[in-house]
Structure 1
């Protein structure tokens, strides 16, 4: 076995000889009669320096931090326009729906992007997809800054959002690549910490830029930051996708030994399929999962509701302070700090509870792990979020002191973080005009608690059964 103190691993350490009759896969044709066995290339146990899960802690955090900082900029860009929507609408002669679309169409793209980007990362690896998406995002975010019409602004926001969606598609995969299950709660909390700050920093920067200079600097400044992150990603981010790492290892062994019997499990599974068929299968898998996997459908509804409520808040929060409380655009942006604090506190609480719950329900109770053991940590958030929304709605309705309103939105988003962003902001302004903040938020709170409690409860009771039925979809 490989020593835990050495990174050099011989071919004998990294292969396991497997008789063809022992695997339910298409056999590799031997080059001569003596080559009757195939040699499976795997990571050495108990330690392999090339295995992302065996990387040093510093190396793991370097990859995690690149994702976190990249996520910060892309989430900041998603919210930075919020305080300046009225100014942009005036310059481009946009109605309320069009100005809301300029903000939320970015989120529409981030909904579609992972359906393509996620599968591509499983064919070509995480690293090249991250680099390509970084450059794509930079180009279209710059176009937003130079837009001369509402059509160009909305279109470039959509394309920038498509590039930004790579972080949503890659983050969970990369964290799963490098961190073991008992470490993922903490790694997720650190990863989320910096991006969630972007939800507050974006509107703050946007508010001051809109009040003191041109709104175009919102996009120019974030493009400068993105250019820096491209350089950092090229130097610090390393490939984490295990099948691709093993494939490179197998290629190297085949070149060094001249023996074509060496292969990886991923190569064996795709031996009979051409590259286009492999790519097509990967691209269709998310759609099949969404169409036929009930667990994916339930969690998608919960996530969609959560993002929808979040962007109702983000797209209307500035108007509350400028139109109803009579505050300046700059000051209205500062209230978004409460939004970010709620999400940050919620993410840190949830991460700690998730890891402790996992340990208590598996290690301490000597119980086998199954995914539904993560669900109990969701329920408190499903109750807290609607209560926060009710408090936010009625304190805003009666123009209670701004500190109480900010506290209420902090509580609401704290709960949302512990538990169809595009369409929600389109109807939110009209909803508040007709129903007011009190009844509007009361309606959202009722829907949130119904979905937030019934969804996890259904997964807790039927999760294992549903997972069994959905295996054929994969």
Structure 2
């Protein structure tokens, strides 16, 4: 019965002074089975038996479980107290049944957190010239700030992800947000390079939650067929934040102190933590169900303490003593075992599953190119066009524009395909658009390399950066969706494998950028990367034609229902 609690009575309710007794009932619980406390000794045997002698039975609770009726005596008999107030169970509704506005709000908070986490990667780049001189280090050594961040970013989800599945997304989000904010402040307050490296490592740990667990959050309350739009926005948030970082940070470094790059970021992160604390509700289904079971069990304990023992279950003539539990809690391994599995299975899948291996290679290279731009763009534009720090940062506007365009295209093309039914209902449907759009990555790399001359207007290679970013985005979205559709219950491990690969390789590439572009020349280095990218664009084509056969041979992959 929807709505607020109503005062209800039934014709069989006991009477007091000639009037029916009115009882308060919660709309989400059955109306209590009211038993007269003045039943005669020769009355109904079921009402007179004492169910308190029964053993408690533990039953599994699901979101759609029909709740039994509490057995309450009114008016209270000898040794009995008035029954406690029924708990409100509205907040324990299945996330899939939440209203659209709540899903949209949580999606927005999650994607903003992803953008703020992505911002961390490139914010270190604009201050390189000032800090390398001040601390007496080389540009290669300074790039370790990106590498250490990526190490924390890659490895922390192996522990964070299973912890969030057991204890819920909300506490992990808030704790990670606090850690992330504190470490960002530490980055701005340090006076030695070693301190910056340690703070960046911890910052990567805190940021990893918002880049890896957000995909699980979206899966918590969106069905598979409804996930493309939120996943497209999530992917766009990750890349948009990455491109926004050098754009804003360069302005801050140029006009104020490099420390305010981190302090301003910490202010935004702190505001996000407050936002999550106030509005981010738990999304993990088993955790919500566990809370519902605990609320019901507490209510039954209070009833028994008041002398009202047992509930009436359909098909049983006598009152029963029950308590609820969640099946996934019984079937789940210990947290330690889950962490061991989380650390072992992704790497096992990386070497035993061809799909995971080649997709991880594909996205790792794409991500490495993205991180490579933090150093290659300032190098090329400062050398060829005489750009200062602020002007170099403005070039990264092309990344933001490319992400916005590609996010809009991805949402529109999926809706168009769904409307006209032009794609097959299989995992390979995720690859049709990516087969063509991923080619934008090598095109952008060739374009950037062969237009990196002082005689060519700066806007030409700038557009090339945006083109390459659009290709990176298409790879990122296709990999996430395809692995999720292919591996189902093992999708978290498959996604963790590619996430670890792309972040580790992304952290290594900036270390070799200067040597590669200096020794090979700008056109040669970009052409080498473009050739590798062109070769890897074969990955979705191979899976498009041979994906069903490859998945049929896999022990972990599963076919989608036709």
Which TM-score band applies after superposition, normalised by the shorter structure? 0.7 to 0.9
- Taking the aligned partners of 1:82 and 1:350, their CA distance within structure 2 comes to 30
Across the two proteins, how many residue pairs are aligned to each other?
Answer: 446
Instruction: For structure 2, list consecutive stretches of 5 or more residues without a partner in the other structure.
Output: 6-25, 32-51, 66-89, 302-320, 476-504
Written as runs of structure 1 = structure 2, the 5 A alignment for 1:26-425 is: 39-44=59-64, 50-257=93-300, 259-260=321-322, 262-270=324-332, 273-282=333-342, 284-357=344-417, 369-397=425-453, 399-419=455-475, 420-425=505-510
CA contact (8 A) 2:251 2:390 kept: yes
Please, which of 504, 525, 537 is the counterpart of residue 452 of structure 1? 537
Corresponding position: 1:10 with 2:17 = no
Query: 1:8: how far off?
Result: 4.7
Say which SS state the counterpart of residue 133 (structure 1) adopts.
Answer: helix
- Taking the aligned partners of 1:252 and 1:296, their CA distance within structure 2 comes to 42
CA contact (8 A) 1:114 1:168 kept: no
Query: 1:197: how far off?
Result: 3.3
Instruction: For structure 1, list consecutive stretches of 5 or more residues without a partner in the other structure.
Output: 13-30
Task: Calculate the TM-score normalised by the size of structure 1.
Answer: 0.85
Rg larger for:
2
CA contact (8 A) 1:381 1:416 kept: no
What RMSD over aligned residues (CA atoms) do the two structures have, in Å?
Answer: 3.0
Q: Which consecutive aligned stretches of 4+ in structure 1 deviate over 6 angstroms post-superposition? A: 2-7, 31-36
Q: Which residue of 1 aligns with 2:528?
A: 443
Say which SS state the counterpart of residue 131 (structure 1) adopts.
Answer: helix
Label 1:440 to 1:249 Cα distance change in 2 as closer, same or farther (>3 A). Answer: same
CA contact (8 A) 2:359 2:539 kept: no
Larger proportion of helix: 1
Query: 1:217: how far off?
Result: 0.8
- Taking the aligned partners of 2:3 and 2:506, their CA distance within structure 1 comes to 47
Label 1:51 to 1:336 Cα distance change in 2 as closer, same or farther (>3 A). Answer: same
CA contact (8 A) 2:243 2:397 kept: yes
CA contact (8 A) 1:134 1:163 kept: yes
Partner deviation per Cα, 1:218-274 (whole Å, 9 max, x = no partner): 01110111111110010011111111111222222333336555332302313xx55
CA contact (8 A) 1:211 1:329 kept: yes
- Tell me which moved more, 200-209 or 55-64: 200-209
CA contact (8 A) 2:551 2:557 kept: no
Label 1:155 to 1:278 Cα distance change in 2 as closer, same or farther (>3 A). Answer: closer
Partner deviation per Cα, 1:102-140 (whole Å, 9 max, x = no partner): 234322321222222112111211111111111111111
Task: Calculate the TM-score normalised by the size of structure 2.
Answer: 0.73
- Tell me which moved more, 323-332 or 223-232: 323-332
Say which SS state the counterpart of residue 456 (structure 2) adopts.
Answer: coil
Query: 1:278: how far off?
Result: 4.7
CA contact (8 A) 2:380 2:522 kept: no
- Taking the aligned partners of 1:468 and 1:185, their CA distance within structure 2 comes to 27
- Taking the aligned partners of 1:341 and 1:261, their CA distance within structure 2 comes to 55
- Taking the aligned partners of 2:149 and 2:521, their CA distance within structure 1 comes to 27
Label 1:464 to 1:134 Cα distance change in 2 as closer, same or farther (>3 A). Answer: farther
